[in-house]
Structure 1
Amino acid sequence: MATAKTTNGRAGSRPSSSTLRTVHELFLAGEVDADDLSSSVRPVVAQSWERSRAVGVDPDLNGARPAEALAAAARLRDTHPLAPALPVIRRLLVNDAIDSGVVVAVSAADGTLLWVEGDPNACRRAEAMNFVPGADWSERGAGTNAPGTALALDRELQIHGSEHFSRIVQPWSCTAAPVHDPTTGALLGAIDLTGDAQVASSQTLALVRATAVAVENHLALLRVAGIGPEPATRKPHLVVLGGDRPRWVTSDAYGHLQATYLTGRHADILVLLSRHPEGLSADHLAVLLDDKDLDVVTVRAEMSRLRKVIGAENLGSRPYRLLAPITSDIGEVFDALDAGDVEAALDRYSGPLLRQSVSPAVARLRTALSTTLREAVLAESRRGRADLLRRWLDLPEGRDDRDGWQALRDCSGLNAVVRAQARGHLAGIDYELG
Structure 2
Amino acid sequence: MTTRSAADPVEHARVLHRVFETTLSGGTGPVAPRSLVSESWQRSLAAHVDPDRRTPPVVLAEDDLPDRRKAHPLGEVMPLLRSTLVSIADEAMHVMLVTDAEGIILWREGAAKLLVAADGVGLMPGTRWTEDAIGTNAMGTTLAVDAPVQIHSAEHLVRTYHAWTCAAAPVHDPDTGSILGAIDISGPLHTVHPAMVQLVSATAQLAEHQLRVRLAIADEQLRVRNMPHLASLRGRSGALVTPTGRIIAGEPYGTWPERVALSDTTSTVRLDDGREMVVEPLAEGYLLHTPDRAAPARRRALSLRFMGETAAPTVILNGRSIPLTLRPAELLTALALHPEGRTAEQLALLLYGEEGNPTTVRGEILRLRGLIGADVLRTRPYRLDAGVDSDFDAVRRALQSGQIAEALRICTGPLLPRSDAPEIRELRSDIEAGLRRAVLASEDADLLATFVTHPLGHDDLEAHDRLAGLLPTTDPRRPAVMTRLARLVMEG
CA radius of gyration, larger in:
2
Q: Which has the higher contact order (CA 8 A, sep 6+)?
A: 1
- TM-score of the superposition, structure 2-length normalised? 0.43
- TM-score of the superposition, structure 1-length normalised? 0.48
